[in-house]
Structure 1
Amino acid sequence: MPTLTEALQGADPGLIKVLEAIAVAVVDISHALRTASTAETGTSNDLGDRQLAADVVADEAVLKALRSSGAVETASSEEQPHDIALGGFGYSVAFDPLDGSSVIPAGWAVGSIFGVWPGSQLVGRPGSDQVAAAYALYGPRTLLVVARGLGGSSPVCQEFTLGEGGAWALARDGIAIGDGVRTFAPANLRASAENEAYGGLVRRWLEERYTLRYSGALVPDLHHVITRGGGVFCNPTSAGAKPKLRLLYEVAPLAYVTVAAGGAATDEAGPALDKVIAEHGAKGPVCLGGKAEVEACQEAMRSSVV
C-alpha cells in the first residue's frame, strides 16, 4: 500500500509538508489519548468551552507539528481561537484538536479536524477558499481522511490507516459519497421540538425505517457516511437550541471533505462552503451527506435560527 507521502505526490510541496505535519500530530494525539486524563482542567477556552486535559495535550501536539513544518504562517484552534504566528510560509491551518471530547469519558470514538488555507488569513473568507481539509478518527483504529483539489477538475479524498511505528498506509482511494444509503445522524435533536420542519424530518426517517447512526461526536458520525458511501448528518437549530458547531474549526473543513467526496454540504442559506466566516468563534448549522438526502433536509435547515 502507498504511504501518505507517496499518495500525496503531485501536490504542492508546501501543502505536502502541512499534511505530513498534520499526520505527525495525529500520531502524537493517538498515543496521548491512551493515557491522557479525561478530567476537566478547571479552565475554559476563550469561547467558553470547558477544557479537558486531553484537549490541551492535543492542541499542543498540533501546534508543535505545524510549527516544525516551516510551511504554516498562521494557525488557529478551537482551544486558542485567535491567529497564532508560526513563522512558516505558504499556508494557514484552522483546527479543532479534539472534537467530541465530551464523550471521551464514555470511551467513545473522537476525532480531530483540520482546514488548510492558502496565505496567512483565516477569517473574512469563505470555506471554498480552503485548498485541503482533513479529519482524524481515534477509535479501534486511528484513521486519517484527507481531501484536496476541490475546485479543480479532479478532487481527491483518501483514507489512511495508522500502522506500526507511526507509519501511514493508504487504505481507501477515491472515496465517494452517493445516494441510496438510508442512515441518519440527527444532531441537536432538541431543536426538533421547535423547528417543525426538523420534527417532520425526524418522523419521516422513522416512518421510512431509516437506520439511526449517531454517536454525539461529529467526526465519527460523518465518517460513518464516508464509510457507507451515503446517508446524512443533519444539524438544524431553533430558538431554544442554537448552533454549537464552529464554522472555521468544524463546519468549513468537514464541508470541504464531504463535497470533495461527491456529497453535499449546506447550511441555513445554501452551500456551506459559500458562507464567509466573519470571526473565529462564528457558529452555524450544517447538513452533510449524500446529495439527495441533504436536499431532503433543506426545509429544516432553512428553518434554523442562527
Structure 2
Amino acid sequence: MSNTRSDQQGSLQDELAKLEPPLVNVLTAIAAAVAEVAHTLRTASCDETGTCNTLGDKQLEADMVADSSIFAALRGCGAVELASSEEKPTDHEMGGSGYSVAFDPLDGSSIIGANWAVGSIFGVWPGRGFVGRSAREQVAAGYAVYGPKTLLVLARPVAAGQAPSGAERRHVVQEFVLLPSGAWQLSRADVRIPQAKKCFASANLKATSDNNAYRQLVLHWMSERYTLRYSGGLVPDLHHILAKGGGVFCNPTSPTAPAKLRCLYECAPLALITEAAGGSSHNGQGSALDAVLSAHDQRSPLCLGSADEVAQCLPAMQLHSS
C-alpha cells in the first residue's frame, strides 16, 4: 500500500502546475471556496431556514452560505460553463468555458449541531452538462472535510511525468491541508486504499428490517470483530477509509428504506475518488462510475472502499438495486 506523505511540503499550485490551465482554474476555485466555507462554518447558523430545496431536503442557513460561496468561486474562475448543486439542482450558467461542476455544498449538514465533521463534494466534468453522461466521464473530483483540520482530497488527472510509482493511472488522489495563512499544503501525495481491512460504516441500517442479506452482512461484520466507524456523514465516513488504510462504507436499500444518495452530487464524485485510490465502488449493478445520469435527482445505493470488503457487500447491494 502506498499512502505517501509529502516530504517536500509542496503546495496545491505545485501539484496542479502541469495540468491544463482551465482545469487548474477550476480546481483552484474549488479550493478557494472550501477555504471560505471553512471560515464561515465557525459562526454560520445551523438553524433551519424554513424552506426545502427542490429535492425535498430541509435547508439550513449553513447550507445556503456554503452554496453561495461555491457558486461565486466557480462563476469567477472563467472555466466553468454550467454548475449544479444539491441546493439548486438545475443547470446554472457560469459564464465560462471548458467544464461543468456538480457539487454538494455541505454534505452531512444535519450533524453540524453535534459539532461533528462535515464536508463538501465536487465532480468536474469536461464540456457542458451532466444528464445522459456516464460518471466515468468526470475529469476530476474532490471532497473537503471540515473537522479539527480542514482537508481537501482531490482525484486529479495524472500529468505527463507525474505518474506515481511508475503506475499507469488516469488519476492520482492527493490530500491537502489548509494552513493558517490560507495556503493549501500537500499532506499526502498518493493516497491508496488496500484490498481489505476489518472496518465498516453501515449506513441506512433501517434497511436491515426487510433486506435479509444486509442484516446477515452486519452480523458477519460483528462476528468477525470488525471495527465500526460510522458518523452519519458520508464524507467523513469515506475519509476514514482513505485516512486509516481501508474498510467499507455500505448504503444498501430495501422496499421500505429507499435510496437517498444523489448520483450526481454524491455517488459519482466519491466513486471516482475511491476507484482512483485503488478501491472499489458499487451501486448494486456494477461500478458506480458506469452509471449514466438520467436526471439531476437520480438516487442510488452505494458501496465504497477496499475491493475485497466491497465484494462481500454485493448480495445486500444487489437485492434492491432497481
Query: For the superposition of Structure 1 and Structure 2, which TM-score range results when normalised by the shorter chain?
Result: over 0.9
- 2:120 corresponds to: 112
Alignment pair present for 1:95 and 2:103: yes
Give secondary structure in 2 for the equivalent of 1:219. helix
- CA shift, 1:166, in A, is 1.0
Alignment pair present for 1:208 and 2:224: yes
- Contact 2:283/2:301, CA 8 A, preserved across alignment: yes
- 1:192 corresponds to: 208
- 1:259 corresponds to: 275
- Contact 2:49/2:60, CA 8 A, preserved across alignment: yes
Deviates more, 1:10-19 or 1:210-219: 10-19
- 1:271 corresponds to: 287
- 1:80 corresponds to: 88
Q: Deviations over 1:17-50 (max 9, x none)?
A: 1000000000010001000001000011111100
Q: Deviations over 1:137-194 (max 9, x none)?
A: 00000000000238x9322100000001211000001100012321000000110111
Give the gaps of 5 or more residues in structure 2: 1-8
- CA shift, 1:134, in A, is 0.1
- CA shift, 1:8, in A, is 1.1
Correspondence for 2:30 among 22, 28, 40: 22
- Contact 1:181/1:228, CA 8 A, preserved across alignment: no
1:126-137 equivalences in 2 (<5 Å): 126-137=134-145
Give the gaps of 5 or more residues in structure 1: none
Alignment pair present for 1:50 and 2:81: no
- Contact 2:82/2:99, CA 8 A, preserved across alignment: yes
With the length of structure 1 as denominator, give the TM-score of the two structures: 0.98
> What is the CA–CA distance in structure 2 between the aligned matches of 1:184 and 1:304, rounded to whole Å?
20
- 1:239 corresponds to: 255
RMSD: 1.0
> What is the CA–CA distance in structure 2 between the aligned matches of 1:105 and 1:210, rounded to whole Å?
29
- Contact 2:82/2:94, CA 8 A, preserved across alignment: yes
- Contact 1:242/1:305, CA 8 A, preserved across alignment: no
- Contact 2:283/2:321, CA 8 A, preserved across alignment: no
Alignment pair present for 1:295 and 2:311: yes
- 1:176 corresponds to: 192
With the length of structure 2 as denominator, give the TM-score of the two structures: 0.93
- 2:233 corresponds to: 217
> What is the CA–CA distance in structure 2 between the aligned matches of 1:267 and 1:305, rounded to whole Å?
7
> What is the CA–CA distance in structure 1 between the aligned matches of 2:186 and 2:34, rounded to whole Å?
15
> What is the CA–CA distance in structure 2 between the aligned matches of 1:123 and 1:233, rounded to whole Å?
26
> What is the CA–CA distance in structure 2 between the aligned matches of 1:180 and 1:252, rounded to whole Å?
22
Give the fraction of aligned pairs with identical amino acids, expressed as a percent: 57
- CA shift, 1:305, in A, is 4.7
1:28-43 equivalences in 2 (<5 Å): 28-43=36-51
1:157-172 equivalences in 2 (<5 Å): 157-172=173-188
State the number of aligned residues.
Answer: 305
> What is the CA–CA distance in structure 2 between the aligned matches of 1:68 and 1:203, rounded to whole Å?
50
> What is the CA–CA distance in structure 2 between the aligned matches of 1:127 and 1:180, rounded to whole Å?
25
- CA shift, 1:74, in A, is 0.2
